[in-house]
Amino acid sequence: MIETHAHIYDDQFDEDRDDMLKRAFDAGVKQIWMPNCDHETINGMLALENQYPDVCLPMIGVHPCYIKENYEQELYIVENLLSRSHLRPFPMIGEIGIDFYWDLNFVPQQEEAFIAQLRLAKKYNLPICIHSRNSKNGELNAIVRCIELIEQFGWSDLRGIFHCFSGNLEEAQRVIGLNFLLGIGGVVTFKNGGMDKVLPSVDLKYIVLETDAPYLAPVPHRGKRNEVAYIELVARRIAELKQVSFQEVVQQTTENALHLIRK
């Protein structure tokens, strides 16, 4: 299995990180993709890449929840690292996007940063990992807004993942139509997560696995710290919803992930 989204550098893992990773490898995880948040998370992420080369892969980007007054400086750091990618490559830009859930004060800056990082993805021909979280009342739809911004610029050659996809079937079809994949994590195991109404109608070739560890632990660990090994629970639930074997889910989602970063 390929874990396409885990914050394994997070301090929640400081006491048992190596043991947590061993559990992941024992569960069959072959690769872990690490989304960046801002300049403060880069060093921890790269240290893990050095410790587990070709297994722990770092993304580079600015998370929308970390877009504040200094966002232009954060973007400068990202572009500077990408400009030296011949020395140390990043396979993906992320996580980037729009968050309507936590703080609406910087939404205009979030959109500016998102567009700037989409341009970097085009410039360096890299896939992107998109964070798109709706407002608490559901009135502000971040998935749709991210789609609109991509369509607005006519960037049909972009590719990537809508991480932690939680939209409806129509939104899933729009995402797939843009040449993006759906990142499916612990929400698929939630009773009211809504994925049971979406995934049966989505071909496996458009799905990748993730946990978003240490967040969004799947049932029966919901509410506790998430970890990469729990990705098996995600894959097994997808297999149930798709009425296919666990092994077919593992094989197809692995192919999808590898194809994305090898283009």
Question: What share of the chain in percent tops pLDDT 90?
Answer: 90
- Scanning 99-230, the segments in alpha helix (DSSP H) are 107-124, 142-152, 169-177
**CATH code of residue 48:** 3.20.20.140
Q: What angle do CA 87, 41, 66 make, to 5 degrees?
A: 115
The predicted model gives 141-148 an average pLDDT of 96
Helix (H) or strand (E) holding 188: none
Whole domain around residue 225: which residue ranges? 2-262
The structural domain count of the chain equals 1
First to last CA, the chain: 19
Q: Give the integer Cα–Cα distance in Å for 93 and 35.
A: 8
Q: What is the mean pLDDT of the chain?
A: 96
User: What pLDDT shows up at residue 85?
Assistant: 74
Q: Which amino acid is at 201?
A: S
pLDDT in tens, 36-55: 999 999 999 999 999 999 99
